[in-house]
Amino acid sequence: MSWSLVKLGDICTTTQGVQITKANTKEEPYQGGYRYLYIADFMSEKKLSFVDDEFDHKKVTSNDLVMANTGSPGRVFKGKDGILSNNLFKISFDNNSVDRDYLYMMLSSNVFQSLLQKQMKGGIQKHLGHQTISRQEIPLPPLEEQKRIAAILDKADAIRHKRQQAIQLADDFLRSVFLDMFGDPKTKGWEITTVEKVAESIKGSMRTGPFGSQLLHSEFVEKGIAVLGIDNAVENKFKWGKQRFITEEKYQQLKRYTVKPDDVIITIMGTCGRCAVVPEDIPTSINTKHICCITLDKDKCLSSFLHSYFLYHPDCQKYLATNTKGAIMAGLNMGIVKGIPVPLVPLNLQVKYDSMARRLNGLSKELSEHKGSGNSLFNSLSQKAFAGEL
């Protein structure tokens, strides 16, 4: 079967969006008006703006593709009817020779996106000129083959999204159960205490990691005792991130920062308030200064309860939002974490919740593993498809 390598500029036309001030937009649809489309409009339906038909030459339709050139540069969306804002550009093409879904999958693929990343301009705020897209080459099989490949990849993509939706549903259900059981402690007559008072009654039950010269970046080694940081809790579930280790000799100097199984860790610098429960099979590890580690008195408070309380309860969320410090980079400190108000919930209710949380978290973990294998399968299929091997 004949495949050809073509420049996108030879088969597509790119048109930059237009900047329209808020004063020239309206919030309600009207005769002769067009939807004004921002990046957010391709992710949800929350933001609605409308503009006059004088911008008809910038119109995009559902037959087109749209790509971001700032914000999320290179991200591709299927078109909607409207006028594009200036941080987006339209990619139009002849439907008699190019299948929209094939082109969408091609431009969204890891291989193509990696290629774009190398060509983006700017420092912290990257941007992508739509002329850059015109210069890129892609494999273009005959139209029927494009449609066949797109249909296969679309099915694989749908499986990926269903797994992600299932994970989100499990998380939403756990939040709902927690708030139903513990949402209004005052009406239950539960005493309000603090995190410090539900921590174990021993020195160091609440601790941040070593500061300053106690632990330097130059002291990290390739193997040894693990060092936990923000990345281990940033997704609100414990996850191994960047590998950091210290020697056994260095560990002996920092043993007081040892992380224990079932501890609760909460980030106190950068992305504050993210938290996780340390797994039972944790190897010998210490934590960095960027997280606070809490060893609980299990006769007062279970880790699964405190973890969910940090994440879901409006009283805790309000306290953290009010007390987060720092003009440029938000931060918490040990005093703030110790003072987080928490209800003294009867232990039998916490045990009941813990049982349910463990089941749901186990389900989410299983789904996440399937999601990972689904992503790998999709990426493998994409590579084979665009190499003519599918």
Q: Got the DSSP string for 27-51?
A: SS--TTEEEEE-GGGGT-S----EE
Q: How many CB atoms lie within 10 A of CB 208?
A: 19
Q: Is the pTM of this model over 0.75?
A: no
Kindly calculate the radius of gyration of the chain based on its CA atoms and give it in whole angstroms. Answer: 26
Cβ neighbourhood burial of 190 (10 Å; 0-12, 13-18, 19+): middle
Model confidence at 357, pLDDT cuts 50, 70, 90, reads: very high
Q: Which of 110, 49, 106, 109 is nearest to 82 (CA)?
A: 49
As beta bridge partners, residue 266 has 275, 292
Query: Among 155-164, 286-295, 346-355, 371-380, which stretch is predicted with the lowest mean pLDDT?
Result: 371-380
Cβ neighbourhood burial of 143 (10 Å; 0-12, 13-18, 19+): middle
- Residue 246 pLDDT: 94
Helices 347-385, 303-312: axis angle to 10 degrees equals 70
Instruction: Answer whether 228's CB lies under 8 Å from 259's CB.
Output: yes
For the segment 51-59, the average pLDDT, to the nearest whole number, is: 73
Instruction: Answer whether 347's CB lies under 8 Å from 299's CB.
Output: yes
| High-pLDDT (> 70) share of the chain, % | 89
C-alpha separations of 262 from 259, 281, 294, 357 in Å = 9, 9, 9, 14
- Residue 226 pLDDT: 95
Helices and strands in the chain, H and E counts? 12, 19
Model confidence at 386, pLDDT cuts 50, 70, 90, reads: low
- Residue 56 pLDDT: 67
- Residue 373 pLDDT: 56
**Of 121-125, 269-273, 338-342, which has the strongest mean pLDDT?**
338-342
Model confidence at 47, pLDDT cuts 50, 70, 90, reads: low
Amino acid at 338: K
Instruction: Answer whether 140's CB lies under 8 Å from 103's CB.
Output: no
Higher pLDDT, 262 or 367: 262
pLDDT at 12 over 60: yes
Instruction: Answer whether 103's CB lies under 8 Å from 16's CB.
Output: no
